[in-house]
Amino acid sequence: MQFIPAKTIVTKTKSDPWFGIDYNMNIYKGCNHGCIYCDSRSECYRIDDFDRVRAKFIYPAFGMTLRGNQKAWYYKKLDEKFPSIKQKYIRKYGDYYECRIENSNLLWGIFANECEKLGILYKMKDIIKEYKSKYNNQQLTLFD
């Protein structure tokens, strides 16, 4: 399985309110089960190489990265929701791609400490090692 970065794993749905959900969580892209009845292979989902599973992950970053159109969209949203903040942001970060908050090292230490205390894996090498130790690539059957 390949790990890919994700901007989010929770997205607002476009479904009819009758269905009863406003948000959807999707942490995988693709599937290797090979079920013959699966609708997710449909072209409308635009998933190339559907049989290759890619797990999305969000890793804590105490700041953000912005480029091109993403930056323009972000500025537009700042103007809509927080009109006075855009100019402060531009003065502080200018055209930087990576925009870390001032106390990111302190926050990382707090984050790591809490994860250690609660037994949560937070280092990518540990997450991958744990994941790979339990992965089983076998299709379940209805006939055995």
List the one residue out of 65, 142, 138 whose CA is nearest residue 100.
65
Question: Which residues neighbour 47 within 8 Å (Cβ) at sequence distance 6 or greater?
Answer: 29, 30, 40, 41
Category of 94 on φ-ψ map: left (φ > 0), alpha (ψ -120 to 50) or beta: left
List the one residue out of 14, 13, 50 whose CA is nearest residue 35.
50
pLDDT in tens, the chain (144 residues): 677 776 666 677 776 665 556 666 677 777 777 777 777 777 777 778 888 887 776 566 677 777 777 788 888 888 888 888 888 888 888 888 888 888 888 988 998 998 899 887 778 778 767 767 766 666 677 776
Spatial separation of the C-alpha atoms in residues 85 and 67, rounded to whole Å: 18
Q: What is the pTM of this model?
A: 0.45
pLDDT at 113: 92
